[in-house]
Amino acid sequence: MRTIDQSENRRDFPTDRPIAVQLIMDGTATASVMRSSQLMKSISTNIIQNCQAVSVVIFGVNRSGWHTTYGLFDQGRIEEFQCFEFVRGKEMPYGYQNCDV
95 phi-psi bin (left φ>0, alpha ψ -120 to 50, beta other)? left
Digit-coded pLDDT (tens) for 3-19: 988 877 777 888 899 99
Contact 17, 55 (CB under 8 A): yes
- Split into its structural domains, the chain has a count of 1
- Bridging pattern class, strands 67-72 and 78-80: antiparallel
Digit-coded pLDDT (tens) for 51-99: 999 999 999 999 998 999 999 999 999 999 999 887 787 788 889 998 8
- The whole domain housing 66 covers 2-98
